[in-house]
Chains A and B, each alone.
Chain A
């Protein structure tokens, strides 16, 4: 019988083939600890064990069966059920990895609300030392309750695996073909928490730092695992890997993120299936308003407004005396625009510049005034 490798025999001593098949280098083997940590973190289980888990699910109490049918077991695995229900499911399914109720641990989905970072103050430059009413952006609730991707929508067959592996192996498996990677598979255990500093509402240009903590289903920290900071694109399936880091012994990792030039949706990922919740980063533009000095007798003045964190084409609205309904102008590529505003001879005129919310930044407003020209 012809050997299946006979077609490569002429190239056996070819320098290209020898180079391609050269012994592994140290660099190629450098990530062995990472791989071993992943192996320890996801103990395999033979398929018959999973089938027995399914039988347990069908033979248990009505309450638990109801949970299983409604996908509650998947929720139970991620400890998202109330403690009382979690305890019930845990009693029935702890052998297949369902965790106990969260008495003392804090999951990513219940972590403390994101801190609100005070954005850098916008500035108003006026010729007078008198005070201005610089607007401070109001903190708003930033929803970060998107379901974690680690919560599998699958029923019992998709339960993560945490039990030790018996020595015996299955005689047959549907995953022996190369297409096994396409089959629905259980999500690995583990939880990845995310926290963004200095907060979820930041001024344009703020440098972001993302901290994460990776824990196994039993709550123990997972060390040596590479964690990627990924930007998700709103309304699109695309995502962009921004940077990576490796978890320390306590399971924590700190990654220097991008500067906040536009709104972001950040996720930490450990491997393909363990993800953190989504952190929405809202960028607050900074308004810089320059009001030139008004000579005596002047009737109008040209005010320059610069919007840092904005985009060319953004609309700036100025409301105030003589512009009750608001004057509108768009900023150019230098992120500036100008307004010619009236000047009073006897009193200062107070205005408010407004930049409305867009897809790339939040709305913001800033009060300023034009001093009287009569002294």
Chain B
């Protein structure tokens, strides 16, 4: 049985953009099976569903380096996919565990050697991105703001909130990843979400 994060998710046919982050992932079992067999469409389905979640998680966990960490995580996924066996739930746990380890490594490397102010040359001359639709802009702003608010939580608590809410991992899996008891995870996530829900800024922006 796949993980349903926040109740039932709307039908995929109703979506006009990317997949909803945190959606139920029973269909991903089939995509995972096809991806393991080398089917590109299966891999793309996996990536489209999980990569946005991964980016949002890493924007909290690996600040400023989230895209690189995500890319390295996916490279490890495609490398080791043939040796993976399990369902979509296990794959998600595997993916986010690898991402978390890489984020930790990146943070250690950054601490060991402060970053130089060398601009990313790919940003030079890059054409402006197309203006998103109004609805997407509103969603984007609220998502950006929500992630910024999660960053203000204590790091461990922010980690657990993102793994639980965005990655959609269940409590025992999150507990195993962060090395805490399931009860501690449940309480910490609950308190974190409650603190966020009471924040007046996010209410003024999203509502």
How far apart are B187's CB and chain A's nearest CB, in angstroms? 9
Q: Which residue of B has the minimal Cβ distance to A164? A: B38
Q: Which residue of A has the minimal Cβ distance to B149? A: A16
B98 at the interface (CB under 8 A from A): yes
Q: Which residue of A has the minimal Cβ distance to B19? A: A24
Given the interface contacts A5-B3, A245-B121, does A271 sit within 8 Å of B71 by beta carbon? yes
> Would you call B5 and A15 a contact (CB within 8 A)?
no
The interface on chain A, measured as residues whose beta carbon lies within 8 A of the other chain's beta carbons, has a size of: 83
How far apart are B74's CB and chain A's nearest CB, in angstroms? 5
How far apart are A230's CB and chain B's nearest CB, in angstroms? 10
> Would you call B82 and A180 a contact (CB within 8 A)?
no
> Would you call B76 and A21 a contact (CB within 8 A)?
no
> Would you call A25 and B142 a contact (CB within 8 A)?
no
The interface on chain B, measured as residues whose beta carbon lies within 8 A of the other chain's beta carbons, has a size of: 95
List CB contacts (< 8 Å) of B65-96 with chain A.
67-68, 71-72, 74-76, 78-86, 90, 93-94
How far apart are B172's CB and chain A's nearest CB, in angstroms? 8
B26 at the interface (CB under 8 A from A): no
> Would you call A271 and B121 a contact (CB within 8 A)?
no
> Would you call B196 and A16 a contact (CB within 8 A)?
yes
B164 at the interface (CB under 8 A from A): yes
When distances are taken between beta carbons in the complex, the residues of chain B under 8 Å from A9 are 6-7
In the complex, A49→B37 CA distance in Å?
A: 13
How far apart are B82's CB and chain A's nearest CB, in angstroms? 3
How far apart are A8's CB and chain B's nearest CB, in angstroms? 6
Most chain A Cβ neighbours within 10 Å, of B3, B22, B78: B78
> Would you call B118 and A243 a contact (CB within 8 A)?
yes
> Would you call B51 and A35 a contact (CB within 8 A)?
yes
In the complex, A293→B70 CA distance in Å?
A: 63
Q: Which residue of A has the minimal Cβ distance to B129? A: A27
> Would you call B37 and A167 a contact (CB within 8 A)?
yes
Given the interface contacts A19-B142, A243-B120, A243-B121, does A7 sit within 8 Å of B171 by beta carbon? yes
A40 at the interface (CB under 8 A from B): yes
Q: Which residue of A has the minimal Cβ distance to B99? A: A181
> Would you call A32 and B206 a contact (CB within 8 A)?
no
> Would you call B18 and A25 a contact (CB within 8 A)?
yes
Given the interface contacts A34-B71, A239-B113, A243-B120, does A43 sit within 8 Å of B177 by beta carbon? no
Q: Which residue of B has the minimal Cβ distance to A24? A: B18
Most chain A Cβ neighbours within 10 Å, of B3, B71, B140, B149: B71
When distances are taken between beta carbons in the complex, the residues of chain B under 8 Å from A170 are 83, 85
A12 at the interface (CB under 8 A from B): yes
A246 at the interface (CB under 8 A from B): yes
> Would you call A44 and B97 a contact (CB within 8 A)?
no
A325 at the interface (CB under 8 A from B): no
In the complex, A185→B143 CA distance in Å?
A: 36
A23 at the interface (CB under 8 A from B): yes
B203 at the interface (CB under 8 A from A): yes
In the complex, A75→B43 CA distance in Å?
A: 31
In the complex, A20→B55 CA distance in Å?
A: 11
> Would you call B112 and A237 a contact (CB within 8 A)?
yes
B61 at the interface (CB under 8 A from A): no
B109 at the interface (CB under 8 A from A): yes
8 contacts between A and B (CB under 8 A): A9-B6, A9-B7, A16-B197, A18-B142, A19-B139, A21-B165, A181-B94, A244-B121
